[in-house]
Amino acid sequence: MSDTGLDKALMYLKFFDVGQWIYPGLMSRKTGVEIKHIYSLLDILVDEGLLIINYESYCHICGKFDIEIYETFASIPHEHKCEHCESTLTPLDNSIVIYKVINNEL
Ligand SMILES: [Zn+2]
């Protein structure tokens, strides 16, 4: 990641408070930083104890997220219906990793 990319990514993170979730895809679009770099940066912050990984179900059919957020991959139901369009969602096809802020020294 270039220095400007890193600066933009770090600036973006400053807007988050403890208890809020960071969506890597959205962060990539907002900052113009490639998604793989976003994941690397966020994973470093997990190691630093600033973020934890959570999971959310994303429906590819209607393009919406479920309201429920899961603490672990194992806690996602094996098969459930999209809250918005009733499509079947499974952990493997529909889970996305999101990052919860647990320390606001970002
Ligand atoms: Zn749906």
Residue 105 has a pLDDT of 78
Q: How far is the CA of 64 from the centre of ligand 1 (A)?
A: 6
Number of compact structural domains in the chain: 1
Q: Evaluate if residue 64 carries a pLDDT over 80.
A: yes
Range of the domain at 83: 3-101
Report the distance separating Cα 100 and Cα 88, nearest Å. Answer: 26
Give the pTM: 0.87
Query: For residue 49, is it within any domain?
Result: yes
Q: Ligand 1 centre from 98 Cα, in Å?
A: 19
Q: What pLDDT band is residue 44 in, cutting at 50, 70 and 90?
A: very high
Whether 38 is in a domain gets the answer yes
- Please report, for residues 25, 42, 47, 50, the alpha-carbon distance to residue 91 in angstroms, rounded to integers and kept in the order given: 18, 21, 24, 25
pLDDT surpasses 80 at 106: no
Distance 38 CA to ligand 1 centre (A): 26
By percentage, how much of the chain surpasses pLDDT 90?
90
Residue 106 lies inside a defined structural domain of this protein: no
Confidence of residue 67 (pLDDT cuts 50, 70, 90): confident
Report CA(87)–ligand 1 centroid distance (Å): 5
The whole-number pLDDT of residue 71 equals 94
* Alpha carbon distance 91, 47 (integer Å): 24
Mean pLDDT, the chain, whole residue set = 94
